[in-house]
Structure 1
Amino acid sequence: MKKNIAIVAGGFSSEVVVSLKSAEGLYSFIDKDKYNLYIVIIKRDEWVVKLPDGELIPINKNNFGFTEFGMPKLFDFAYITIHGTPGEDGLLQGYFDLIGLPYSSCNTLVSALTFNKFVCNSFLRSQGLRVADSIRLFKGQTIDTEEVVNRLGLPVFVKPNDSGSSFGVTKVKEAEALQEAISKAFSEGKEVILESFLGGTEVTCGCYKVKGKEEVFPVTEVVTPNEFFDFDAKYNGQVQEITPARISTELTSRIQSETSRVYDILGAQGLIRVDYIILPDGEPVILEINTTPGMTATSFIPQQIKAAGLDIRKVLTEIIENRLNS
């Protein structure tokens, strides 16, 4: 009998639209001969499942079930593709653990750790990995502009610290613009991170591991005319994504090895993606770890899977079956 798979999208952040696109991507990628697929949309005020005919049916939050044609149905597995809370920060993972539903991504602890950029950087630094210098602010806290410039220099990136969103991010090049950038970042969350600017080549590398198997994908180089890899670069085509990256074989192997190491250090599950800046001296520095990477047809992970000569349908089946049989 086919297993029922929930592709869980939506969320509470500004990237709901992106999440829904990832859900459509996953719906096209996952093997429909093997699984019954449903897209579940989670918003603050409603949880619904989209039936094949387009009808939206309420989800029972007690067991994540629903009723189709008068018959109660339960899911066997949840593929989480929410970018931001509650799907990227561990909240949904905790809920699924409570009701005993297997899911695609990292567990509650790892999701919460990687979602909080400042805490994640501190953890990675303790493991001997290179990350940017940073300062964290909580809602209601202020910081003197001169202190920021003295500690981090200019330019400086100002970002929401507790949001999976691309919104609210500013590259501050002049001291006079700093406080406004902090206010903008706070509009997306309750914490803000200020990070030192790192100039160099931006690359990203995906990875997944299942029982007896490890796949680290080719590295993608990210080239954009924008000030940084912002929302327009990510989702409105203002970027050139080159896979494999135009870097040496030795550096490619090093980044792939580090991505694999990060996966193991975290105890990650499912697909993850690690973003780096390669400094002019050739040293890679970790920018961010994404435990629910985008899964549209043009997202990095599908690109890298294709470049690796792998079948994305088979990759997703391996991830699902690995969790169902664990």
Structure 2
Amino acid sequence: MRPLTLFTGQWTDLPLAELAPLAKRMGYDGLELACGGDHFNVQRALKEAGYAAGQRALLAEHGLQVYAIGNHLIGQAVCDLIDSRHQAILPAHVWGDGEPEGVRQRAAAELADTARAARLLGVQRVTGFTGSSIWHAAYAFPPTSQAYWDAVGQKYTGCDFYQSALTFNKKDTLAVLSKYGIPSAKSVYLRKGENINVDEIVENLGLPVFVKPNQSGSSLGISKVKDQSELIAATEIAFKEDDEILIESFLDGMEVSVGVIDFKGETIVLGITEIVPQNEFFDYEAKYEGASEEITPARIDAETTKRVEEIAKRAYDSLGMSGFSRSEFILMDGVPYMLEMNTNPGFSPASILPQQAKIYGISIKDLCGNEVEKALQKRN
């Protein structure tokens, strides 16, 4: 029977020391290490004695083998038509000055180094792909922002660049929405390197508090701090995800997730889903490993339902949104406090927004068809 392996390319935001035990619990026999995050660094393997052996030993501690290493992003630049998008996926020493032929040559050299590093790791396989001069026409990779499509005059579904960028920044989103009467938790904003006055923070916000990256998703880097002595460690965890963090006062209430879309010219609330996490809060495990219960519609009275719907629609319209959105609130004494807005929510059949649409009476086909029709009607 062939071993069951996990390619770690979609997990590089998670340190290998955390991913390894998780992969073992999920039933994997081994990993295909991505050359990204701290999973595997080709140049360190070539220059630092013991680095490759250390990565293998880390996996062995959890009963995992390493069967291959993957360097897909570097490989993408070998035969692709190089443009500004590639800078976001390539390390600085490969991107260099961005001159296309130089980028391709450095990418090819890096792949050769990857094969040498694989030998040091005791691995016989290097996986990847080499891009293509027609790749961009068949598949949207490297990834592009709405700003790129605006610049080339291409129509697309979902919200515009401004709304997408704004809502990924929690601090700025909440600041804008406060002008429209939408409340949120008291908070302290910090940049990496700034002095952290623990006593002052606790005096202003009380305990417990939530420490979270300002720009991050999937609840990565978020901690609930119950004791003052834990605060500095929590900020260090958050700063691993972003150079800006928020420390927010604790809101003791029900968490709800509210899907809002513009459907056939009207802003509608698809539903209000109650989030019941098994853990302290709706963290990564609760979101992606089933450690939560999602109840649609939420167990709230008619008056509270009306208030939440009104606030959610106001937030959506105030930001000039279009397309899908899912806003997160904490209900405290019947008042919805905004946590964040997600303009690119999960869209699998098990995800919250499609569940809400189904209960509302809108099929996935009609939901997507509506988005395509709106995109086609956009002006370039």
Aligned pairs for 1:123-142 within 5 A: 123-142=176-195
Q: Taking structure 1 as reference, are residues 190 and 73 closer, same or farther at Cα in structure 2, changes over 3 Å only?
A: closer
The Cα of 1:230 is off from its aligned counterpart by 0.2
Q: 1:63 to 1:325 in 2, by over 3 A?
A: farther
How many Å apart are 1:209 and its aligned residue? 0.7
Which runs of 5 or more residues in structure 1 are unaligned? Answer: 1-8, 18-42, 49-56, 81-85
For residue 319 of structure 2, what is the aligned residue in structure 1?
266
Is contact 1:13-1:163 (8 Å) kept? no
Are residue 74 (structure 1) and residue 127 (structure 2) matched? no
- Structure 2 residue identity aligned to 1:96: W
The residue that corresponds to 2:366 in the other structure is 314
For residue 293 of structure 1, the aligned residue among 324, 345, 354 is 345
Q: Which residue of structure 1 aligns with residue 107 of structure 2?
A: none
Of residues 142, 149, 160, the one that matches 2:202 is 149
C-alpha separation in 2, matches of 1:10 and 1:223: 27
User: Who is 2:375 aligned against?
Assistant: 323
Corresponding letter in the other structure for 1:322: K
Using a 3 Å threshold, how does the CA distance of structure 1 residues 72 and 287 change in structure 2: closer, same or farther? closer
CA 1:136 to 1:309, structure 2 compared with 1: closer, same or farther past 3 Å?
A: same
2:295 maps to 242
253-262 or 231-240, which moves further after superposition? 253-262
Matches of 1:11 and 1:321, distance apart in 2:
34
Where 2:247 maps in the other structure, the secondary structure is: strand
Tell me the secondary structure at the aligned position of residue 219 of structure 1.
Answer: strand
Distance 1:157 1:103, change over 3 A: same
In the superposition, relative to structure 1, how do residues 13 and 320 fare at CA in structure 2: closer, same or farther (>3 Å)? farther
Aligned to 1:23: none
Aligned residue for 1:241, secondary structure, equals strand
Larger helix percent: 2
* CA separation of 1:46 and 1:69: change in aligned 2, threshold 3 A: closer
SS at match of 1:129: coil
Q: 1:97 to 1:59 in 2, by over 3 A?
A: farther
1:208 to 252, 261, 276: 261
Aligned-pair CA distance for 1:45: 4.5
In structure 2, do the counterparts of structure 1 residues 230 and 46 end up closer, same or farther at CA, with 3 Å as the change threshold?
farther
C-alpha RMSD over aligned residues: 3.2
- Seen in structure 2, the aligned counterparts of structure 1 residues 59 and 218 have a Cα distance that, compared at 3 Å, is farther
Q: Deviations over 1:22-64 (max 9, x none)?
A: xxxxxxxxxxxxxxxxxxxxx865669xxxxxxxx97656599
Q: Tell me the distance in 1 between the aligned counterparts of 2:135 and 2:298.
A: 49
Distance 1:126 1:184 in 2: 31
CA distance in 2, matches of 1:310, 1:157: 36
Please state how far the C-alpha of 1:304 moved relative to its aligned partner.
Answer: 0.5
Over residues 191-237 of structure 1, what are the superposed CA-to-partner deviations in whole Å (9 max), with x where a residue is unaligned? 11111110101111101114523331121000112100000110100
Residues 58 and 300 of structure 1: CA distance in aligned 2, closer, same or farther (over 3 Å): farther
- TM (norm. structure 1) is 0.74
Q: Which residue of 1 aligns with 2:355?
A: 303
TM superposition shift of 1:13: 5.0
What residue in structure 1 maps to residue 223 of structure 2?
A: 170
Preserved contact between residue 118 and residue 135 of structure 1 (Cα < 8 Å) = no
Q: Percent identity?
A: 40
How far the C-alpha of 1:158 sits from its partner, in A, is 0.4
Distance (whole Å) between structure 2 residues aligned to residue 58 and residue 312 of structure 1: 37
Q: Distance in 2 between matches of 1:141 and 1:46?
A: 38
Query: CA 1:165–1:222 in 2, change beyond 3 Å: closer, same or farther?
Result: closer
CA contact (8 A) 1:222 1:240 kept: yes
Task: Report the Cα offset of residue 105 of structure 1.
Answer: 2.6
Distance in 2, Cα, partners of 1:103 & 1:59:
23
Q: Residues 11 and 120 of structure 1: is their aligned pair in 2 closer, same or farther, counting only changes over 3 Å?
A: farther
**Structure 2 residue aligned with 1:224:** 277
**Deviates further, 172-181 or 242-251:** 242-251
CA distance in 1, matches of 2:262, 2:326: 12
SS in 1 for 2:262: strand
- Give the drift of 1:99: 1.9
For structure 2, list consecutive stretches of 5 or more residues without a partner in the other structure. Answer: 1-8, 20-71, 86-130
CA distance in 1, matches of 2:243, 2:316: 28
* Contact 1:13–1:164 under 8 Å retained in 2: no
**Using a 3 Å threshold, how does the CA distance of structure 1 residues 13 and 317 change in structure 2: closer, same or farther?**
farther
Give 2:54's aligned residue. Answer: none
Structure 2 counterpart of 1:238, one-letter code: A
Give, in whole Å, the separation in 2 of the partners of 1:165 and 1:47: 26
Q: Secondary structure at the match of 1:217?
A: strand
SS of equivalent residue, structure 1 residue 275: strand
Q: Where in structure 1 do 4 or more consecutive aligned residues deviate above 3 Å? A: 9-15, 43-48, 57-64, 68-75
Q: Counterparts of 1:58 and 1:271 in 2: how far apart (Å)?
A: 35
Q: Give the partner amino acid of 2:137.
A: L
Which structure is larger by alpha-carbon Rg, 1 or 2?
A: 2
